[in-house]
Amino acid sequence: MPQRDGGPFKLDPRGCPAVKPKIELKNVSKIYPAKTRLNGAGTKVAVNPMTLTVRAGERLGIIGPNGAGKSTLLRIIGGLADASSGQIHVEGRVTAIFTLGLGLREDLSGRENIYVDGELQGKSRAEVAPVLDEIIAFADIGEFIDRPMRTYSTGMKSRLAFAMLIHINPEILIIDEALSAGDCLFAAKARRKMQEICDRGMITIIVSHTMQSVLDLCTRCLWMENGRVVMDGDPATVTRAYLDAVRTQDEAALAEKLDRPLVTQSFRPGCQVTRLEVRTLERLGNQSMVFSGEDTDVLVGLQAEVPLQNPQVRLRIVRLDGLVVVDSVQGVPIREEEHGLMGCLGYRITMRPLVLGAGLYRAAVELLDGWDVVAMRSTMLEVVTRRPPTGGRPVLLYPCSVSATPIG
C-alpha cells in the first residue's frame, strides 16, 4: 500500500509552519486499474516506480512528450491522486493551480471566497486580510468581486483563482502551463508575477512544453517519458539532450505521426523523381527533422526514359497549414544531341544555413515538362529551433545586422 505523510493534511497548530519544504518520493508508481466493464480495457501504467527528492529552493521544470506521466506525477505530489505503490513524503503546503477552484462556493462572493480559499490553504482570516486588497487589485474584475461566484465568466474565475494562488505565499507551488486563461493584458501580468514567485518561492514545479520557459525559470530539469525519468540535471543540459533525442527519435515513429510521409507519383510513363533526401552536414543519412540555422542540403534525383522538350524541376516547401514558403523552379539543361532530357540527373540544393522557422512542412520535388507535372516526390520535414525568438514565431529565422553612428 502506498504511504503518505506530511503534505496538505498536516496543519501546524500555530498556523504557518516554519519547516523547510521538501518532497521525497520513494518507488512511487501509478497504474490505472483494469476496467470493471466487460469490454475490459486493461491496465495502463502512468508512472513507473520512481524515486525523486526535491529540496528547498529548487525550481524544478518537468518536460516530456504528451502522455509521459508529467501531470500524474504532479497530481500525486499535490495529493490529488493516490499512488499505486511507494512512499510519498511532502513537507510544506502544496499550492497547485489544479487544486484551486475546488472548494470555492458558487453562492459566495469573490471577496468571501478569498477567505474560504485562504482557510483551505491554512491561513486564518487575519492572515488573509492584509493581502486581500492586493488579490482584488491583481484579479481586476471590478464590481464583480462582491457578486456571487456563479455570475462570473470563465475568464473572471480563472483570474481570481490565479490571483489567490500567488498571494498566499506558496511553499510548494505547482504550475501546469496548460492553464493559460485570461485576456492578453492579464496574461502579461501573470507572466511577470510568475517570474517574481520563482525568484522567491521555496519549491516551484513547472510543467512546460516550451524549453525557453524552463531555461528561464528553473534551476533543475526533469525529462520524463513513458512514465520514467529519462534524465535529471541542470536545465541547459537536459533540454538540449531532450531536443537531440527528439531529433534522433525513431524516424518510423515520426513518419507514423505524420500522415503519408513519403509520396512518389508519376504522371507520365518512364518519368520519375528517384530521390528526395534532406541532409545536414553534421549527420549522415536522410533526415525528417532538421534544426534551423544548420547547413542543410536537399538531394534530388530525376529520371526520364522518354525525352522531355522543356524540362524543369521545382522545389516546393509548404507549411502544414498551407502556406507556401519556398517555391523555386530550375530549368534543366537540354543535351543538344537528344533535343530533350533523357536519362538521370542529380541536383544538390543547398540552404546554408537553413532559415526556415520551426514547424512541420511538406517538401516536394516536381519534374515538369513545360507546365505539366510529369512526376513528383514529397516528404515530411520537421524544423526545430533550439532557442526560438521570444516575441513570436517568424516564418524565417533570417540573419540581419545593425549599426549606428552618432550625429554631431
Partner 1 sequence: MSPIDSIQATVPATAGDRLPACATAGAPPRGIAALSCAGVSLTFPVFDEGGAWRLVLRGDLAGRRVQVLDDVALSVPKGDFVGILGYNGAGKSTLLRVLAGVYHSTLGTVHRHGRVTGLFEPGWAGKPFLTAREYAKRSLQLQGVPRARLTELLDEIREFSELSADFERPLYMLSSGMVARLYFAAATAQPYDVYLIDEFLTVGDEHFQNKCWRWMRERLSQGASGVLVTHDWTKILRLCEEAHLMAGGRITESGPSEEIVRAYLNQAGEGRTEVAAFCPDNPASYAARCREDTEFCFDVQLGEAVPVVLGYSVELLRAGAAWEILLMGEELPVADAIGRHVVRLRIPRLPLAPGRYYLNLFLKARPREGARERSVVCDVRSWTHGNALTLTVEGPVCPSVTAVPLSWIREGALP
38 binds partner 1 (CB under 8 A): no
Residues 84-123 that bind partner 1 (CB under 8 A): 106-107, 109
- Residue 9 sits in the site that holds partner 1 (CB under 8 A): no
Quick check: helix, strand or coil at residue 360? Answer: strand
Give SS3 for 394: coil
Question: Dihedrals φ, ψ of 51, to 5°?
Answer: -120, 135
Residue length of the chain: 408
Query: 297: closest CA among 284, 307, 309, 306?
Result: 284
Q: Which is nearer to partner 1, 91 or 294 (CB)?
A: 294
One-letter amino acid of 357: G
Binding flag, residue 254, partner 1 (CB under 8 A) = no
Asked whether position 320 contacts partner 1 by CB under 8 A, the answer is yes
- Residues 234-253 close enough to bind partner 1 by CB under 8 A: none
Other CB atoms within 10 A of residue 312 CB: 17
Binds partner 1 by CB under 8 A, chosen from 57, 155, 233, 370: 155
365 vs 282: CA distance, rounded Å: 23
Pick the binder of partner 1 from 1, 18, 126, 400 (CB under 8 A): 400
Pick one of 120, 325, 334, 373: the residue that binds partner 1 (CB under 8 A). 325
Binding flag, residue 264, partner 1 (CB under 8 A): no
Q: What is the pairing mode between strands 220-225 and 228-233?
A: antiparallel
Kindly tell me the sign of the dihedral angle through the C-alpha atoms of 245, 247, 252, 256.
positive
Among 11, 16, 19, 41, binds partner 1 (CB under 8 A): 41
State yes or no: residue 393 binds partner 1 (CB under 8 A): yes
Show Cβ contacts of residue 229 under 8 Å, excluding neighbours closer than 6 positions.
Answer: 50, 52, 222, 223
Three-state DSSP at 376 gives: strand
Residue closer to partner 1 (CB basis): 70 or 123 = 70
| 343 is a contact residue toward partner 1 (CB under 8 A) | yes
210 forms part of the interface with partner 1 (CB under 8 A): no
For residues 23 and 141, which CB has a smaller minimum distance to partner 1 in the complex?
Answer: 141
Write out the binding residues for partner 1, residues 131-150 only, by CB under 8 A: 141-142, 144, 147-148
Nine-digit cell at 220?
533543475
Least distance CB 209 / partner 1 (angstroms): 8
